[in-house]
Every structure is written in C-alpha cells, then in structure tokens.
Amino acid sequence: MALQLGDIVPDFTQDSSEGSISFHQWAGDSWVVLFSHPADYTPVCTTELGTVASLKPEFDKRNVKVIALSVDNAESHRGWINDINETQKTTVNYPIIADPDRKVSDLYGMIHPNSLNNLTVRSVFIIDPNKKLRLTITYPASTGRNFDEILRVIDSLQLTDNYQVATPANWKDGDDCVVVPSIPTEEAKQKFPKGVTEVKPYLRTTPQPNK
Ligand code: BEZ
C-alpha cells in the first residue's frame, strides 16, 4: 500500500553522489525533503536541482536536510552535478541518491505505471524529525516544482506543530493564522493575547503567535 501521511517512512541504505547513505541515520534530528526526478541530464531537472542548491540556506534555517533521487547511478549524478553547477551558477551541496535497482523508488512509490516507463516521477516527501511523513506531492514530468511552496509548507508544519493554529489559503510566514476549530472563542482569546477576530463562529483569525 502507498505511504500515507503520518506513516514512519521506510529506512534504506543506498549509494549516492556523496557515498553510501543510511537514510534514517543520515536524517538524524532534522526535517527532510526527499524529492525524486525522472532522470539525470534532463532540462527541467537541471533547473530544479540548481534551485534547491540556491535555497539551501533557507532549508538550513528551518533545520531541513534535502536529498534528491533518480534511477541513475552515482557516477552519472556526479557528472551531471558539474553541469548543474555550471549552468545554474550554484553548487549542489546535498546528496543525490542513486537508485538503479529501484529499491528506494519502490519503497516510496516513486515509479508510477502510467507515467514514463520505469522512471521516477517528480515526487516530494516532507518528513519530520520523528521520521513521520508529513506531506507528499506528485508533479508531472513536464512541470518543474515550486520550491518556495515547499518552504512555505515547512513553515506551516513547524508553526502548527507548536501552536493551536492552522494556516489559511496562500498563507506565508508572518500572515494571520486561523484558530483551530476545537478551541472555543473565549479560550482562544486567552491563548492568543495578540487578539482573536471572529469572522464567523467557525472562522477565527489571530496574528501569527510566534512573531
Ligand atoms: C526534464 O527534467 O526536463 C524532463 C524529464 C522527463 C520528461 C520531460 C522533461
């Protein structure tokens, strides 16, 4: 059965552009973004991996490790990294898992039978420090991912893990939040001293509590 949100993600040991990686041990106490791409030396993937390298300081700030994967081997990854660095004006500063035997792709359901033959799709997995799966997204091969959106989701997850709020449509760090439905408005006013606005009894907003 496919991985579900809240599952402990499968552990594995696999070669990568930076040598052998035992995944849970490598992740340690960090959040992880694991993302797969169809193949090395392809144009959209080249821009994606360069973008993630440029965003590395943003991931670091949030205690997030990033790791990519495709079914190509580690030697191919290392050669392609030179091209990414050259063309995207960056330095790929995270590992790319080599999965020619499809071990990890099968464990995580990254090969979709109706998609390109035997190639990993553009999957994204956000994994928390308890190794629980917190988000999955799958994009078609023709659409490069928006990694600002991945950072936005991480901000929301890290906030809502610590406060009884949720984040509304298109929320970004610093915007007002919504109070979770389980808290009565009077109690919410105590919990959120910056103020609670009751738009409807079920729709209450409050300034972001950790700002
Ligand atoms: C790409 O990364 O450019 C790509 C890969 C597979 C199909 C289409 C585009």
In the chain, the domains with their CATH numbers are 13-145 (3.40.30.10), 163-206 (3.30.1020.10)
Q: What is the pLDDT of residues 2-46, one digit of tens each?
A: 899 999 999 999 999 999 999 999 999 999 999 999 999 999 999
Whole-number Cα distances in Å, 5 to 70, 124, 135, 186: 22, 12, 6, 32
Task: For residue 117, report the distance from its CA to the centre of ligand 1, in Å.
Answer: 13
| Closest Cα to atom 7 of ligand 1 | 141
Q: What is the pLDDT of residues 107-159, one digit of tens each?
A: 999 988 787 767 878 999 999 999 999 999 999 889 999 999 999 999 999 99
Task: For residue 36, report the distance from its CA to the centre of ligand 1, in Å.
Answer: 12
Q: Where are the alpha helices (DSSP H) in the chain?
A: 23-27, 43-54, 56-61, 74-88, 103-108, 147-160, 185-191
* 8 A C-beta contact, residue 48 and residue 77: no
Q: Is the CB of 166 under 6 A from ligand 1?
A: no
For residues 79-98, b (16+ Cβ closer than 10 Å) or e, as one string?
A: ebbeebbeebebebebbbbb
Average pLDDT, the chain: 96
Alpha carbons within 13 A on the beta-carbon side of 143: 8
| Of 36, 40, 41, 44, best ligand 1 pocket probe by most atoms within 8 Å of the beta carbon | 44
- Amino acid type, 95: P
pLDDT band at 162 (very low <50, low <70, confident <90, very high): very high
CA 99 to chain centre: 19
Annotated catalytic residue 177: no
Q: What is the pLDDT of residues 180-205, one digit of tens each?
A: 999 999 999 999 999 999 999 999 99
Task: For residue 41, report the distance from its CA to the centre of ligand 1, in Å.
Answer: 9
Confidence (pLDDT) at 117 = 67
Nearest atom in ligand 1 to the alpha carbon of residue 119 is 6
Q: What is the pLDDT of residues 43-84, one digit of tens each?
A: 999 999 999 999 999 999 999 999 999 999 999 999 999 999
Q: What is the pLDDT of residues 78-102, one digit of tens each?
A: 999 999 999 999 999 999 999 999 9
